[in-house]
Structure 1
């Protein structure tokens, strides 16, 4: 069984990814779905707040994380078994139908927290299938030399979705109530389907296809591929450490910091705007350059800068200063994350890409959100400064892993 890297798309004519119509169609589908996701989370949060206490609303909005953490490895198996395009199409249709069902439910009745929690859990189950396939799809639609550029384009799509999702979600709630916002989210997610149907995906060469085995056996094969690979094994560990130290402070931690400083929601919005601006600049740089030499070393260096900036964020008293630090976090973490993602796609065997992506992202999408109660308890006991510093130290360990392992330290993008 061959374990070579992801093949070059046969239809590629050496055009940069940002000029390839096939990649642009994928980007349009990704953007529409990402905007729909943002509108969905706003609608879910609003409906939960209207139905219960803030603590109960927090549990509802976090309910998607547990099934993602438990099932994402299985989602990676499905992506490799049936192909990422097919899995993305099926799971996207399921996501749209689920959110549309929530809209109908809200129109017909006043669902309680249990019903909203069930919607969130089911969405997390579908997400566990969708995310590994969506993450591995870019490597099958472009040449290997364009992987970093595609990661930059995906980052730009994420930033734009965050900018558009908030106002559209608020508008949906204002015009059509919570049901209207859910309906808008279902429409936006559904719009990505016809675009995805037009995206061409490279077929694996005959010697890169494997016979189907039991799902657990295929999962073990994927884990064995990571364990034996000199670059992937430490890279997956580094990604997990980075996500574990980053997600808590920049989500719940930032909200608690704004409360302690008296910045209010407007001040927190400016800090988030600074982060988004920095992350967008990093994505734009990768889209423009297409390739960064010494990718692993640059990823480690920018990860270390982001970790230091996270620790410093808790020490800045003013909104303006915090916005500047957040912009630095956005630039450095954006570069580090995109480069690590491109390295994973470049070095994973074509047969195992979905499983490798599921392992490398499970902490960020599934495990790290489950640490929010621990973050909140720790901040209440010791304050934001020590907690941010500890999280920054965990994130900085990722840079240490990259620099300590020779094969990973020397890893380059095609």
Structure 2
């Protein structure tokens, strides 16, 4: 940077130069739902979500045709294991090389794996020799993709739009869940497992093309890793940007990021965990996420099926209750996408979690199926709003150098750890029935909400506007 020339001693002081014209407000504060860059990322994310679900349909169908139910379950478990084991490493890699680069690389690899499996299935029958390695590879690639894609939103829009982006992301996820099942089933019915794997590969290719066109904000904390996304050679458009964490995102932070890339992966991982443990907002936020997910996950995923069987509601009742969850969560995402800002996210999170816990307990004690569906809708609305607000808050307060690692820890707390409670939930229902198990899950979730209220920094946290 060139120093400013000084006037000679005794010379009159020159008039100050006119201040540069401020950037247009419309460009800086463009709403996320009108930002083409955000919409490209959102479409890519939706295509990837649908591809994920179609892949699961294809894998489950091929696995059940290959061998016994136990072997089919083993194949499906092989896909989940590396995702849980490698999730934290995926966050380190996202911070080390830049989330955009990792997202594109992992999406490319997922596309190639799907197309390779589809090609092999056109000339041979599915077998464990093919499905097991494919499941392992896809699970490992998911461990790279999920933290990186979760770390992208702060690089796509201004901090004031992050809550709206999370709402839009939630709506996209619901669209993906609704459309993926029929699409996967149609592909299997038309062309068998090969067509389903090929459809998943095509969706990942579409996601990849859109992601390649996404421009990210040139945060200099990962400019060296994502140099291809820099919009101006040597132009510091992020110097001194205040992210609300007191972290410099200019050249000083870039030097820190470059120094981190020279550290071993395990050192960077330990640094990320220490960062969360010392952060006044992230520490209670991650703890609340883990506790409430343990409370909701078992009853919502295993308990509902056992409740429908116990009450004689059958598969129809199960479908309606799950649909109630989905409608409620979709409504929460749409509400946040439209409103765009939650003034007191920590307080809103606590209130919605307490409301969701009460609604979860009400499902098990509802005297009729319609009332159980209504309670499920209230649960989905409350939990969906709490989750979206938590994600926006997490991305707002996290330093750019640690976004990938923090995202991986939050993802592991919600997607990786909670399924471990499913066997215990099933055994508890068999021993005590659904009512006490739902009450225990609701109490655990309410405990998480209480911890949120007892954390002063989390309770006082704000989202930018």
**2:62 paired with 1:17:** no
Pick aligned residue for 1:396 from 446, 451, 457? 446
Pick aligned residue for 1:110 from 125, 128, 137? 125
**2:65 paired with 1:50:** yes
CA distance in structure 1 between the aligned counterparts of 2:139 and 2:216, rounded to whole angstroms: 26
Larger radius of gyration: 2
**2:369 paired with 1:319:** yes
Contact 2:88–2:408 (CA<8 Å) still a contact in 1?
Answer: yes
Aligned to 2:338: 288
**Distance 1:190-1:292 versus aligned 2 partners, 3 A rule:** same
CA distance in structure 1 between the aligned counterparts of 2:455 and 2:128, rounded to whole angstroms: 48
Shift of 1:224: 1.4
Backbone CA RMSD of aligned residues: 1.8
What SS does structure 2 have at the residue aligned with 1:184? helix
TM-score by length of 2: 0.83
CA deviations over 1:80-129 (Å, ceiling 9, x no partner):
01111100001111112222233233333223346433322222111111
What SS does structure 2 have at the residue aligned with 1:64? helix
Question: Which structure's relative contact order is higher, taking Cα pairs within 8 Å and 6+ residues apart?
Answer: 1
Aligned to 2:272: 222
Shift of 1:179: 1.7
Matches within 5 A, 1:1-400: 12-113=27-128, 115-204=130-219, 205-209=250-254, 210=257, 211=259, 212=261, 213-400=263-450
Unaligned runs of 5+ in 1: 1-9
TM-score by length of 1: 0.93
**Distance 1:82-1:17 versus aligned 2 partners, 3 A rule:** same
Shift of 1:52: 3.7
What SS does structure 2 have at the residue aligned with 1:162? helix
CA deviations over 1:345-385 (Å, ceiling 9, x no partner):
01111100100111112022212123322222222232222
Contact 1:261–1:317 (CA<8 Å) still a contact in 2?
Answer: no
**Distance 1:265-1:108 versus aligned 2 partners, 3 A rule:** farther
Shift of 1:293: 1.4
Contact 2:325–2:380 (CA<8 Å) still a contact in 1?
Answer: yes
Moved more, 356-365 or 49-58: 49-58
CA deviations over 1:129-162 (Å, ceiling 9, x no partner):
1111011111110100001000000000000001
**Distance 1:50-1:392 versus aligned 2 partners, 3 A rule:** farther
Moved more, 54-63 or 266-275: 54-63
CA deviations over 1:245-300 (Å, ceiling 9, x no partner):
22222223222222222323232222122111111111111111100111110011
Shift of 1:233: 0.6
Shift of 1:67: 1.4
Contact 2:346–2:458 (CA<8 Å) still a contact in 1?
Answer: yes
Contact 1:66–1:370 (CA<8 Å) still a contact in 2?
Answer: no
**Distance 1:316-1:55 versus aligned 2 partners, 3 A rule:** farther
Contact 2:62–2:126 (CA<8 Å) still a contact in 1?
Answer: no
Q: Number of aligned pairs?
A: 405
Contact 1:12–1:142 (CA<8 Å) still a contact in 2?
Answer: no
* Larger helix proportion of the pair: 1
**Distance 1:374-1:105 versus aligned 2 partners, 3 A rule:** farther
CA deviations over 1:33-52 (Å, ceiling 9, x no partner):
11111111112222222334
**Distance 1:360-1:120 versus aligned 2 partners, 3 A rule:** same
CA distance in structure 1 between the aligned counterparts of 2:149 and 2:27, rounded to whole angstroms: 20
**Distance 1:24-1:333 versus aligned 2 partners, 3 A rule:** same
**Distance 1:141-1:65 versus aligned 2 partners, 3 A rule:** same
Moved more, 20-29 or 98-107: 98-107
What SS does structure 2 have at the residue aligned with 1:376? helix
